[in-house]
Amino acid sequence: MPQHPVGTRTGPARPADGSDAFARVGPVADAVLYEGYLLYPYRRSSGKNRVRWQFGVLAPRDWAEAQGPEVPGVAGSCDAWRQRTECLVRVTAPDPLVRVRVRFLQVQRKRVERRTETGGHVPVEGLEADGTVHLSFDEAVPQECEITVPLRDLLVREREFPVAAPGGTTTEQLGAGAGRVVRERLPLRARALLRAKQLDGARSLFRLRLSTENTGAAGPLSPREEALRHALVATHTLLGGDGLCFLSLLDPPRWAQAHAGQCHNLHTFPVLAGGPGSCDVVLSSPIILPDHPQVAPESPGDLHDAAEIDEILTLRTMLLTDEEKREARATDRRAAAILDRVDTMPPEVFGRLHGAIRSLAPARPASPARPAAAAGQEPVPWWREGGDDGLCPATDTTLVGGVTVTAGSRVLLAPRGRGADAQDMFLEGRTAVVAAVFHDVDGGVQLAVTVEDDPAAELHGWYGRFHYFRPDEVRPLSADTTCTARGGPDHDR
């Protein structure tokens, strides 16, 4: 068998390069890396910029465990000392090679110091030099560790690889002898544990497991601000390789559903990355993403809040006063870059932020619940409620599995694995009462429901706030049916 190099490369994140299979998902991975790094209005004085680093924080184990018991879930918004990714992969060529890239931010303390009359320096909150304001503030340096190993080696035993970032101090002298800016990073120590297991020999199916653990130390009673200096922040992972095709855990093929259900992910979740239809790269992120996530092509640059709307953030940034912009520029270099981009944005680029149509589909034919107008008659407005010629959500019906469902019907919630709202997935297996049957302008049907064991159901009904499900996402129940299992029965995805 040909020999492949095995080992790791650790260092600052490098620019994407076209020959790198991971480069295609670089924009999405960077959005995860800097999500919430610094939020609008990008000023140090803003309250929300005083509590930072909310995703993918891997702190030293002694400190993390002192904060309370570990939450055994995929949510990456809690401070922890480890992440675990488990995903499914098929081998498509002989002697496959596994590549892993662990990416994270290393907190860097920026300290502004004023020069004293005796030639020494003392820390200050801020300092102006040559017309520019400098503020003390924590920054971050992107780091990554790359692992390359043959798959066959991971079948024999679990392999351990170092993940680290060196410490260091740099000094920037400010003009006219006013003082200096000192940037200091503490060394980070972590490890990656990689293992593979064959699940189905006939289909060449394997489960790949990666654990990333902080092996550094911090005082268990240290404040969070200090512990973060020893932490890997916004930690996420890219997995790929040669001769490998990954399977979706969100929408696995029917034959692999049982294996997908046995993958246990902790504080991160893997999704297929790259363009639609590709299967050679997985992004395991502490932020919930769909398969094949993409950055909107209209987006002109990072605003550190990928869940927001670019146009809104851009407009708000434009409305900052000159004094507010001055403070933002002094807070962080990335904040200054955002302001520069917004202030110089061409009108045509700004215009593209206003909206986009991704696809167009022909109108659906009329359904029995939404009849077409007879010859010579005016079309029936779909929004007209009541009467024999219109629609009324309180009395309309729809068929679910051959059963007529209307307001007052009891149903079992079974959201689809693909395309379902993330919050709907938490309601899987719960029973609910249909409040109304709505028909949309495209001829589709939505069921407005209230969850039966929700203590606020009556209040939500009074306000007209409901959960909405498609007919194929519920199962009809008879009036005397009881269902206490939170997970609910299995259903086809």
Assign 492 a pLDDT band (cuts: 50, 70, 90). Answer: very low
For the chain, percent of residues with pLDDT exceeding 90: 70
> Rounded mean pLDDT of the chain?
87
The H or E element that residue 271 is part of is strand 269-272
Q: Is residue 266 part of a domain?
A: yes
Q: Is residue 25 part of a domain?
A: yes
Average pLDDT, integer, range 253-279? 96
Q: Is residue 364 part of a domain?
A: no
For the chain, percent of residues with pLDDT exceeding 70: 87
- Give the domain-ending residue among 314, 348, 382: 348
**Judgement on whether residues 191 and 288 belong to the same structural domain of the protein:** yes
- Give the domain-ending residue among 348, 371, 386: 348
Q: Is residue 370 part of a domain?
A: no
State how beta strands 7-12 and 188-200 pair.
unpaired
The radius of gyration of the chain from alpha carbons, rounded to an integer in Å, stands at: 27
Question: 34, 302 in Cβ contact below 8 A?
Answer: yes
Cα gap 296→284, rounded to integer Å: 20
**Judgement on whether residues 425 and 308 belong to the same structural domain of the protein:** no
Least confident segment among 12-21, 184-193, 241-250, 416-425: 12-21
**Judgement on whether residues 271 and 418 belong to the same structural domain of the protein:** no
**Judgement on whether residues 425 and 290 belong to the same structural domain of the protein:** no
Q: Is residue 201 part of a domain?
A: yes
**Judgement on whether residues 198 and 289 belong to the same structural domain of the protein:** yes
DSSP annotation of 343 reads H
**Judgement on whether residues 118 and 181 belong to the same structural domain of the protein:** yes
**Judgement on whether residues 191 and 251 belong to the same structural domain of the protein:** yes
**Judgement on whether residues 234 and 305 belong to the same structural domain of the protein:** yes
Q: If you write DSSP's letter for every residue of 205-248 in order, what string do you get?
A: EEEEEEEEEE-----TT--HHHHGGGSEEEEEEEEEEESEEE--
Q: When comparing pLDDT for 463 and 171, which is higher?
A: 171
Average pLDDT, integer, range 144-166? 96
Domain span holding position 178: 7-348
Cα gap 432→474, rounded to integer Å: 9
Cα gap 56→74, rounded to integer Å: 11
pLDDT reading at 166 higher than 90 = yes
Q: Is residue 80 part of a domain?
A: yes
What is residue 312's predicted lDDT score, i.e. its pLDDT? Answer: 93
| Residue of 260, 297, 304 whose CA lies nearest to 275 | 297
| Residue of 40, 64, 2, 106 whose CA lies nearest to 328 | 40
Tally of structural domains, the chain: 2
**Judgement on whether residues 333 and 410 belong to the same structural domain of the protein:** no
Q: Is residue 392 part of a domain?
A: no
Between CA 427 and CA 430, with CA 428 as vertex, the angle to 5 degrees is 70
3-state secondary structure 64-89: HHHCCCCCCCCCCCCCECEEEEEEEE
The H or E element that residue 148 is part of is strand 137-150
Average pLDDT, integer, range 334-347? 95
**Judgement on whether residues 91 and 210 belong to the same structural domain of the protein:** yes
**Judgement on whether residues 344 and 405 belong to the same structural domain of the protein:** no
- Give the domain-ending residue among 287, 322, 348: 348
What is residue 272's predicted lDDT score, i.e. its pLDDT? Answer: 97
Q: Is residue 314 part of a domain?
A: yes
What is residue 51's predicted lDDT score, i.e. its pLDDT? Answer: 87
Model confidence, pTM: 0.75
* Sheet with strand 431-439: strands edge to edge: 467-469, 445-451, 431-439, 410-413, 474-477
**Judgement on whether residues 412 and 342 belong to the same structural domain of the protein:** no
CATH number for the domain that contains residue 436: 2.30.30
Q: Is 109 helix (H, G, I), strand (E, B) or coil?
A: strand
Assign 394 a pLDDT band (cuts: 50, 70, 90). Answer: confident
Over residues 445-468, the pLDDT tens digits come to: 999 999 998 988 888 888 888 999
Average pLDDT, integer, range 200-212? 97
What is residue 20's predicted lDDT score, i.e. its pLDDT? Answer: 78
